[in-house]
Structure 1
């Protein structure tokens, strides 16, 4: 986690967990890319508490957007504002990182570290007071159904358990922004149901969920942003998206057909 390994400006335990008002994340004419390649261009979105799904084919810009929201990548152009802070450099990014929980698709960990220490370390980085570590970590491990493996080393966990450990990393301490990149990969059906329950309980939290699984979107999301070519081709509710689906398009549900409808015609062929 490159952005998480930056030591906070204040000592661990000095920061209050009190939430002040409703969190918002504002992207205004955002442009982002790598080298000479532009991945996102002129994207304007405001995110508020609730669960927003990012849908789109590979290369649509979903992961790049999440990395930008996580303050790993400063905007190439445009503006990003998290709560009342404009993110225009490393100093401003450090001010908000304790409020952000980020789970990349492929997250790193020390294979020798015990699970409880892995999640406790996340709590420390997020500024959770030391007096609350035990309770906060215990509650989080219970949420992801890993309490009985708390003393296990990360290397000994199965792929699905490691994915749930990553989810625990992202949500411990109840950050006000939670960014999840393909979080249900490697989870069995029961664990996916548990995941849906977890994110549904993150009230007062801006949750952004990148996924390819339409049924996860239908089950838990309040809002859907469909991305293609670095732009938002749709931004609205799940019901509004489903209304775009029509017979004759590939897909087994109205949501799947609506998603296919938004892709260029050459990509609608299965």
Structure 2
């Protein structure tokens, strides 16, 4: 899959949440960094075709997504995990993931194998028959990751996926990302160490605009010793934000 955003803007009423963003996305893991209100979630929702652009255009494999019919045609190829995702509390974990498999067009005969595979990846095999309401917050987050990746979607959009995961589970999550080489993976996060460990490319957003787009190494090279941070990547991230955001 190849996805192109051309001067895409999004408004919520009078608020400009994304301002003329142009990006080309190809397979690989892309970290999206930025403070609260930077536009990260809005970008993911736009790519998930939940919100049509207020202005500009978005193309999937050279097809402009400008109608609801076209949006529906690409949704089966997208795995989207919002930061706060909904679920039927009476559903079992397996049923929750099966619903995602159905939405992505996985053949019913392949459901069990696909579900088993992703539940093993997120370490929830023993919770297959557990009700979603009985899971801890971290387990629900892992079930959400399984939801997002079942059926091998061509684009995976993850909004703060490591919230609630312990250090071992975060390492496991990074291992999962390494197995999604054929997909475009966008990882919205506040954690620069997740970006450093798992991402090929990083996009820094602020106030609905892209402040940096390049490799993790290129961003790290902008580090300055006089800036706050515990690593070169943290200091470089602070460097590309406006000076008003650099206070800790």
TM range, normalised to the smaller chain?
A: over 0.9
Residue in structure 1 matched with residue 106 of structure 2 by the alignment: 128
Q: Tell whether 2:43 aligns with 1:65.
A: yes
Q: Tell whether 2:189 aligns with 1:211.
A: yes
CA distance in 1, matches of 2:108, 2:62: 27
**TM-score with structure 1 length normalisation?**
0.91
Q: Which residue of the other structure, out of 114, 122, 128, is the alignment partner of 1:144?
A: 122
Residue in structure 2 matched with residue 172 of structure 1 by the alignment: 150
CA distance in 2, matches of 1:154, 1:198: 22
CA distance in 1, matches of 2:206, 2:238: 11
Q: Within 5 A, what are the aligned runs for 1:83-102?
A: 83-102=61-80
CA distance in 2, matches of 1:89, 1:233: 30
CA distance in 1, matches of 2:211, 2:154: 27
Residue in structure 1 matched with residue 164 of structure 2 by the alignment: 186
After TM superposition, give the deviation of residue 216 of structure 1 in Å.
Answer: 0.3
Residue in structure 1 matched with residue 138 of structure 2 by the alignment: 160
CA distance in 1, matches of 2:9, 2:2: 19
Once the two structures are superposed, residues 35-85 of structure 1 have per-residue CA deviations (whole angstroms, 9 ceiling, x without a partner) of 121111111000000000000000010000000000000011101011242
After TM superposition, give the deviation of residue 211 of structure 1 in Å.
Answer: 0.2
After TM superposition, give the deviation of residue 246 of structure 1 in Å.
Answer: 1.1
Moved over 4 A (4+): none
Unaligned runs of 5+ in 2: none
Residue in structure 2 matched with residue 13 of structure 1 by the alignment: none
Count of aligned positions: 248
Q: Tell whether 2:1 aligns with 1:47.
A: no
CA distance in 1, matches of 2:148, 2:42: 18
**TM-score with structure 2 length normalisation?**
0.99
Unaligned runs of 5+ in 1: 1-22
